[in-house]
Amino acid sequence: MEYPSASMTQSEENYLKGIYHLSHAGRASVSTNAIAAHMETKPSSVTDMLKRLSDKDLVDYQPYKGVTLTSGGTAQALRVIRKHRLWEVFLVEKLDFSWDEVHEVAEQLEHIASEKLIDRLDALLDYPDFDPHGDPIPDKEGHFKTREKRLLSTLQPGEKGVCIGVKDSSSPFLRFLDKNGIALGTRIAVLEKEEFDDSMAIQMGEQQLQISHQIATNLYIKPIT
Amino acid sequence: MEYPSASMTQSEENYLKGIYHLSHAGRASVSTNAIAAHMETKPSSVTDMLKRLSDKDLVDYQPYKGVTLTSGGTAQALRVIRKHRLWEVFLVEKLDFSWDEVHEVAEQLEHIASEKLIDRLDALLDYPDFDPHGDPIPDKEGHFKTREKRLLSTLQPGEKGVCIGVKDSSSPFLRFLDKNGIALGTRIAVLEKEEFDDSMAIQMGEQQLQISHQIATNLYIKPIT
DNA sequence: ACATATTTTTAGATTTGTCTAAATTTATTT
DNA sequence: AAATAAATTTAGACAAATCTAAAAATATGT
């Protein structure tokens, strides 16, 4: 049984979210330094926070051994991630933000505390399963849809698929995609693969494009047969 | 010329907003105790904050003499108020919140810092001039529309008008109005005034209602002839 | 396995925002 | 105008969140 979410500070929420992302699914133990790097803060600050989170039973923390999220901590992290991603959908769908602009604002909006607000937002957006970068949106219970996804770089010439997400969601990368007409839902067919530098020629609609390996390893594709 | 808004903490924003409301239009000087009462905090905390705001040139503060907002402080307060009221409209219009539920959430949303977000929200809502309680929404330059407004209690039998706002916006009062079918835009005609307790009989559509003086002194009406 | 390097924690300081209790200033009363 | 009351400020403390510098624990290399 889940406890009603105790009040948390924004900083605590950010740490839980960070730890969640680093441990990928709440499994593996995460190191102090890894957290510090990810949060752009100092290891000593991380240690302080880990103690606080441990006192609140949100993480299992053993000095020098790293941390894992408790079930309560995981639930909280997923709540924040849910809010973040729903707000991103809102910003893109309702306020015409581009997908490279949403993150910073969503970082703030994700801390707004109102269950009703999020439920209603979810409804307004018609219960989306994925955010504008293709990442899954957890439901109220923390469950989310998965779908077959492969990096574009793993497709062979002749295979095709539809773009469903990005691995790198930095602004330069997203702006590059925009500029070249690649968005979520874009259908891509692989024409050729260059052995020399692993770049590939792809077809999108009637447009053809040569993309580097760097690009191809950061685009998620759902294969279609 | 206006400076680009320096970064402010939520607490600073709340104080500026509080001082603005207490000084009604940025004119009169406001006392430490009045601020403490309004913000539900202690006078000593207020003194601390006033010094900080004074250092940032957001208020004119003279010990023992009270404060007034500087032009910069007024501009900041109006920016926060603009955001608060736009979010209230959003919550009511797009997420079906009732007018007694919006305040608490808007108190949080008003601190989200993104000019683009607010501009786009304004557009999504079709540039509203008034919030769900009838209060005017400042534009980007801090200007807002005014309109003739009188307390219902000042109307004489035979006069009529349309409800355009509330003075008290506490939940119990707003829920009372909801329950009795009084909303913004409701047309009200005064039938009779009871000398004894200043209660009045009013007509709304085909419905008749007896309301206390207490109610009548908290409802703003735009008279119609 | 021992020395060195890396990681992590502790100790102590800082900032923001708050508080209580005491001191000070201003206002009121007789 | 002196005494009392009220309002305001100061002084000192505390919690959250961060930092730097130093100490302690763990890991690595030969």
Strands A160-166 and A187-193: antiparallel
How many Å from the N-terminal Cα to the C-terminal Cα in chain A? 43
Contacts of residue A215, Cβ cutoff 8 Å, sequence gap at least 6: A152, A173, A176
Tens of pLDDT, residues B122-179: 999 999 999 988 899 999 999 999 888 899 999 999 999 889 888 988 889 989 988 9
Mean of pLDDT over chain A: 92
With cut-offs at 50, 70 and 90, classify the pLDDT of residue B223: confident
Mean of pLDDT over chain B: 92
Q: How far is B127 from chain A (nearest CA, A)?
A: 14
Determine contact: A105 vs chain B, CB below 8 A.
Answer: yes
Task: State, as a whole number of angstroms, the distance between the CA of B13 and the C1' of C16.
Answer: 14
Select the more confidently predicted residue: B191 or B148: B191
Half-sphere exposure of B79 (CA within 13 A, CB side): 24
A80 pLDDT above the threshold of 70: yes
Find where tokens 């035979």 sit: B158
Task: State, as a whole number of angstroms, the distance between the CA of A67 and the C1' of C2.
Answer: 31
Q: Which helix (H) or strand (E) holds B103?
A: helix B102-109
Task: State which residue of chain A sits closest to B111, comparing Cα positions.
Answer: A108
How many Å from the N-terminal Cα to the C-terminal Cα in chain B? 43
B4 pLDDT above the threshold of 70: no
Please report the domains of chain B, with CATH numbers, ordered by start residue: 1-145 (1.10.10.10), 150-224 (2.30.30.90)
Q: Compute the distance between CA of residue A66 and CA of residue A33 in angstroms, rounded to an integer.
A: 9
Residue A25 pLDDT: 57
Strand C nucleotides where any atom sits below 7 Å of a protein CB: 7-12, 16-22, 25-26
Residues of B in contact with A94 (CB under 8 A): 124
Determine contact: A117 vs chain B, CB below 8 A.
Answer: yes
Q: Report the DSSP beta bridge partners of residue A136.
A: A130
The protein residue nearest nucleotide C6, judged by CA to C1', is: A33
Task: Choose the mutation target among A109, A117, A118, A122 for the interface with B, i.e. most B CBs under 10 Å.
Answer: A117
User: Coil, helix or strand for B166?
Assistant: strand
Q: Would you give the distance in Å from CA B199 to the centre of its chain?
A: 26
B1 pLDDT above the threshold of 50: no
- Helix then strand then coil, in percent of chain B rounded to 5, is 40, 20, 40
Residue A77 pLDDT: 96
In this structure, what are the phi and psi dihedrals at residue B13, rounded to the nearest 5 degrees? Answer: -60, -40
- Nearest-CA neighbor of A190 among A177, A179, A180, A199? A199
Model ipTM value: 0.86
Reading the block at residue A131, the tokens are: 């955010």
Supply the Cα-derived Rg of chain B in whole angstroms.
19
A54 pLDDT above the threshold of 90: yes
Tens of pLDDT, residues B11-56: 999 999 999 999 985 568 999 999 999 999 999 999 999 999 999 9
- Are B87 and B109 a contacting pair, CB within 8 Å? yes
Q: Compute the distance between CA of residue A123 and CA of residue A3 in angstroms, rounded to an integer.
A: 24
Supply the Cα-derived Rg of chain A in whole angstroms.
19
